[in-house]
Amino acid sequence: MNSQGRRTKRPRQPPAASLPFAEILSRVPYRSLCRFRCVSKAWRVLCSHRAIERRVPQTLSGFFHTHHSDGGLRFSNLPGGGAPLVNASLPFLRRRYASVKLEQCSSSLLLCKCRESEEAEECDYVVCNPMTGQWTVLPPIVWQDEEDGEPAYFKVVQPFLGFDPAVPSRFVVFSPLVEVCDDVAIYLSETGRWTRNSEWGDNSEYPSFSAECAFLNGMMHFLHLVIEEPIIAVVDVEGDVCGEIALPEGMEDASSGYSSIGYSQGKLHAWYMHPHYYELCVWVLEDYASEKWTLKHTVDVPELFGRESAEEDCDEEDRTYKYEMFAIHPEHNLIFLTDWKEVNLSYDMDSKEVHLMCTSGDFLGGLPFIPSFADLVVG
């Protein structure tokens, strides 16, 4: 207030781009930016500026997971501690839907199955960005019948979301058309329409959609195990299979153990865990053109959890643990594992250090999440 007791208006905050330290703020990790908001109201306004948020470098910030006690969706930060960076209740969807179930997390976007009431049979599939609150409902699959020209309607069944962090304004969704010889419908966010790919047919060489996939170099990579010789199928955003990558030597029995793929430091990675004594092997595709795989690391998983090797232990107790590597860090040689009973941990393949993330059983497994503030372009 001034000397006459009247409230004076504060000067308006200048645009973020004109501030001399805006460039500095746009280069710090998002988690640090959140801490800076606590300094003062002015800092909160500044650090919440969309122009700065869009430019903040993004990396793995945490995991969506199911809470053990109540089965509700939670978000746990990486590293742990502090208020969750993401409100896992997704309040922007709750305003319309009574039931929201997370089906998939593809880097920065979520695919949710939503119902307007708990008892409703009909559902919407929604793609959303939890950082911006932006969301869109996948439309029905409709196109003209080739024989009579009448519109043919198909349900969206088992949709699979593909998102490339390098192009954060768009996404693609694949939905198998089980009614029509396993054709595939492809939704492109830029057009807002479904197209149909009829070349898949029932050819066993074409992949089935599953969680074992990675979006890299503008292509979806699917680990295809339901064939005699498992492969990694490479699929473009039009749904065309562009190629196949043979699995690394030592991963031939991938269908008999736990295996998956992911990307880290710009390269495709594959891993396999023996189903009996839980030895984990991690490979990296060093040369994409020649399909040259390099064995990056091997580790006895039970030992990471402070237990005896399942291969040497006569007691069957350890064999009841279902160990799994559920994620790899996109920028570091860091992997994440769980025993699906009590413990989640991270393991540094360089330093061989183990960091316990949870020992209570409340946070087991998880879907890795990288925040993005880019606006989606939906046609």
In a domain, 313, yes or no: no
In a domain, 49, yes or no: yes
For 266-286, how does the pLDDT look when each residue is reduced to its tens digit (9 = 90+)? 999 999 998 888 999 999 999
Other beta carbons within 10 Å of 178: 12
pLDDT of residue 155: 85
Handedness of CA 143, 149, 153, 157 (dihedral sign): negative
In a domain, 291, yes or no: no
CB proximity list for 34: less than 8 A, separation 6 or greater: 47, 85
Q: Sort strands 292-300 and 99-106 into parallel, antiparallel or unpaired.
A: unpaired
For 9-40, how does the pLDDT look when each residue is reduced to its tens digit (9 = 90+)? 444 544 544 456 666 665 666 666 666 667 77
Q: Which two tokens stand for residue 134?
A: 């932006």
pLDDT of residue 31: 61
In a domain, 22, yes or no: yes
In a domain, 41, yes or no: yes
In a domain, 46, yes or no: yes
Count of domains observed in the chain: 1
In a domain, 309, yes or no: no
For 218-269, how does the pLDDT look when each residue is reduced to its tens digit (9 = 90+)? 888 888 766 667 788 888 887 788 888 999 988 866 666 688 999 999 999 9
Q: In angstroms, what CA-CA distances link 343 with 79, 184, 305, 306, 322? A: 15, 39, 8, 11, 11
* DSSP tally for the chain: helices H, then strands E: 6, 25
Q: Could you tell me what percent of the chain has a pLDDT over 70? A: 75
pLDDT of residue 376: 83
For 25-80, how does the pLDDT look when each residue is reduced to its tens digit (9 = 90+)? 656 666 666 666 677 777 666 666 666 656 555 789 999 999 877 888 999 998 76
Domain that holds residue 46: 16-57
Average pLDDT over the chain reads 81
In a domain, 172, yes or no: no
